[in-house]
Chains A and B, each alone.
Chain A
């Protein structure tokens, strides 16, 4: 407790004239530019809202972007097929009876949801790019495997399936299926039974005909018009009078009831108690940090004003208005006053006398001295800076300390 006194340097006083952060914040005023920028942003926002982009979405029958399917949906509608855009399992089940069901995402619906739809009695179920990991694939195409992934080269049907044979060559980038397990019953097109781009599994007792489409290209606006893509898609989807275009969504109420959605079942039993106890610990830490060692000490401090505030303000005012005439007048008058006192001239001495005295002292031409001390207003700010410089030089030439009063 009685160690040597530690003398610490006082914190440096803030430099005078350097605006603090607070000063800068306080000095901010909305300028004309600020308003212009704000107005521009507002107009841009309005334009964006008014010209809202058309609907987009992958394999959306109403979307017009390259990945959408509005072209195909319109073609089907022209052929008298009713296209029903369904999202939830319930809607799909309502629409499925006696219809073709197109499932754009075979990964999302759970087996339970698929059963609900299949129970409604669709005649054909088209799966777009299903894989062995998808519930629909496992449920309806057991034994089929993904053999390869093809690029976007045209490929010939090479099978007797009428829908493919009449469509001819198509472009089907995507997975190729190995359907040898179903040899005999299944139709495999576009690439042989061990790597087919299109597999049609026949309908049996409780299930409809299942079509595995190895590519979504024939459905999209972008690739609909390539080779026989359009014909293939129309043949596959337009057989029945109704087409249920099922785009599954995570917002499907049928998903909520699935047992795997329960988070509490996944966490170990000790996690929740630990979290609760951690909250208690946080409370204790908050108590520890929250209690001050005695109250704050308040102190009235004197006002601090810079003595040169009005002068600085005057300078900034002149600058803001670019009042070159006044500024030059002040600079010249001060220089004349100092020179006059230095050369022993009365304040009322005529300009000519002062000019003559300065010219005699410095050896400069009276004309240039007069232009400097009594000249016209500077043309621009640079000229004002130059004038200040020249006046300082003149004072130095007379032998006066620059910067003095």
Chain B
């Protein structure tokens, strides 16, 4: 049983009636008993007159996936299967971070007034504020009687999941990197030919081409000056490793380090996919959380995004040896291994550094990490000066770690959060241009 605000108002007015009766000479207790009995009768009668909440048949249709920051629309269809008019409220409850709103309202409720057999469509906009599977909880139907004083209420399950994918904010960097990739491709005679680039074709010389790429033998055969063109190597393996251990839980700005790293991984994967390479994804902490292998072509990005959707940081130290052996077990041929982790001194020196040599022996390794945003340029008070000193210490440690990694032949990408994805993509393109893959 539920009572409405109108019932409260009526009960309040009833006190005036009691006052009137008592002033007119009725004994006080009799007035109270009379009015209260009338009130209870009205409430109970109205509740019995209300239709059953079960008379409402509810189905749901709509989006099952959404990118973080965008809106998914689901539609509830409520049909009155009873024989009485159904008046009341419907609440579509979701977990708080799903951000569910009935369209046109600022909450998750909708008012219904359905004749028998009628149906209403209620659009519910879901705007999740974090990644992962956002689930609908219960739908609660509350119907009120003809007097609007009291009614009945029931909650029912209506399972629905909106899978929230990473936002891939860095995809705005993709066009410029793809343009650079095309520049490297066989359409022009590149000046620097590194080992590993593949012979593509012969074409006529146009002014501006590097004279060193003129193929004299072909020129002799043809009527024109011919140049050789090259294209970057294709069909290489790129293994992206996300460290999902405790260091990835740290929040930089509004995002966790893991989210920043996912963003960078997606840009790299999109680029590598277009360049014709095969991309593997691995997320590892104490054990392998996510693996996507050998993806290429248009299906690559959706499969990666889907795999990342409900990956959350694990609050445990990463097992770096396990991580390395997982990579080794996955790819036998030479590959580009990109490890997205941290450059804090302790976890690297005690974890990754001892395990890396087996990896660098067979693969090209890049270690990338988002670093903290830069401190204010100078200190204005003592507290800031000490904070800057601590930060200077951390920077020194990171420089030290970077130098150690560089000595092992590892490329290090240490960039501010906003720069990490483009810097990593550039590193990939550099390696590709040099034919190092």
Contact = CB atoms under 8 A, between A and B. Distances in A.
Interface string A54-94: 00000000000000000000000000000000000000000
Given A274-B19, A276-B32, A305-B249, A311 B254 contact: no
A2 B73 CA distance: 12
A284 B385 contact: no
Given A307-B251, A333-B392, A384-B382, A403 B376 contact: yes
B36 A382 contact: no
Contact of A288 (B7, B93, B380, B382): B7
B23 A2 contact: no
A269 B23 contact: yes
Interface string B70-95: 01010000000000000001010111
Interface in B240-258: 249-254, 256-257
A289 to B, nearest CB: 8
Contact of B389 (A1, A269, A318, A405): A318
Given A277-B35, A281-B12, A8 B389 contact: no
B392 A319 contact: no
Interface centre among B382, B386, B388, by most chain A C-beta atoms within 10 angstroms, is: B386
Given A10-B129, A274-B22, A299 B155 contact: no
B398 A405 contact: yes
A266 interface: no
B39 interface: yes
Interface string A285-310: 10110010111011101111111110
Contacts of B97: 299, 301
A303 B389 CA distance: 28
Interface residues of A, number: 73
Interface in A346-405: 347, 381-382, 384-385, 387-389, 392, 402-405
B39 A303 contact: no
A101 B209 CA distance: 130
B3 interface: yes
Interface size class of B (residues with CB under 8 A): 35 or more
A405 B14 contact: no
Given A302-B312, A303-B249, A5 B392 contact: no
Nearest to A328: B389
A324 to B, nearest CB: 9
B170 interface: no
B104 A274 contact: no
Nearest to B346: A310
Contacts of B171: none
B379 interface: yes
A284 B7 contact: yes
A12 to B, nearest CB: 10
A334 B36 contact: no
A120 to B, nearest CB: 45
Contacts of A276: 18, 28, 32
A273 B376 contact: no
Counting chain A CB atoms within 10 Å of each CB, the highest count among B153, B389, B396 belongs to: B389
Contacts of B129: 10
A133 interface: no
A188 to B, nearest CB: 54
B389 A331 contact: yes
Given A280-B36, A305-B250, A307-B250, A333 B312 contact: no
B385 A385 contact: yes
Contacts of A287: 2-3, 7
A334 B395 contact: yes
A16 interface: yes
A315 interface: yes
A3 interface: yes
B96 A297 contact: yes
B414 interface: yes
A288 B389 contact: no
Nearest to B16: A274
Interface stretch (B116-124, B176-184, B332-340, B358-366): B116-124
Contacts of B390: 311-312, 314-315, 318, 327, 330
A392 B14 contact: no
A342 interface: no
Nearest to B399: A337
B106 interface: yes
A294 B140 contact: yes
B407 interface: no
Contacts of B256: 302, 304
A47 interface: no
B122 A1 contact: yes
A6 B391 contact: no
B91 A293 contact: yes
Nearest to A8: B106
Contacts of B387: 311-312, 315-316, 319
A198 B376 CA distance: 86
Interface in B382-430: 382-396, 398-399, 403, 414
Contact of B15 (A1, A278, A330, A381): A278
B63 interface: no
Interface in B44-73: 71, 73
B372 A319 contact: no
Interface string B97-131: 10101011110011000000000111101010110
B356 interface: no
B93 A297 contact: yes
A330 B396 contact: yes
Nearest to A5: B103
B254 A299 contact: no
Interface string A1-26: 11111111010010010000000000
A4 B71 CA distance: 13
B11 A285 contact: yes
A277 B71 contact: no
Nearest to B378: A392
Contact of B22 (A269, A309, A384): A269
Contact of B28 (A5, A269, A323): A269
A270 interface: yes
B374 A404 contact: yes
A384 B383 CA distance: 10
A38 interface: no
B260 to A, nearest CB: 10
A297 B95 CA distance: 6
14 contacts: A1-B120, A6-B101, A269-B22, A276-B32, A277-B19, A280-B14, A280-B32, A288-B3, A303-B315, A304-B256, A312-B387, A312-B390, A323-B386, A337-B399
Interface of B: 2-5, 7-8, 11-12, 14-16, 18-23, 28-29, 31-32, 35-36, 39, 43, 71, 73, 89, 91, 93-97, 99, 101, 103-106, 109-110, 120-123, 125, 127, 129-130, 137-140, 142, 153, 155, 249-254, 256-257, 312-313, 315, 371-372, 374-396, 398-399, 403, 414
Given A293-B142, A294-B138, A315-B386, 16 more contacts: A1-B123, A4-B103, A6-B106, A7-B71, A268-B23, A270-B18, A270-B22, A278-B15, A284-B7, A284-B43, A297-B94, A302-B313, A303-B315, A323-B386, A326-B389, A388-B389
The 5 closest A-B pairs by CB, nearest first: A307-B250, A294-B140, A334-B392, A327-B389, A315-B390
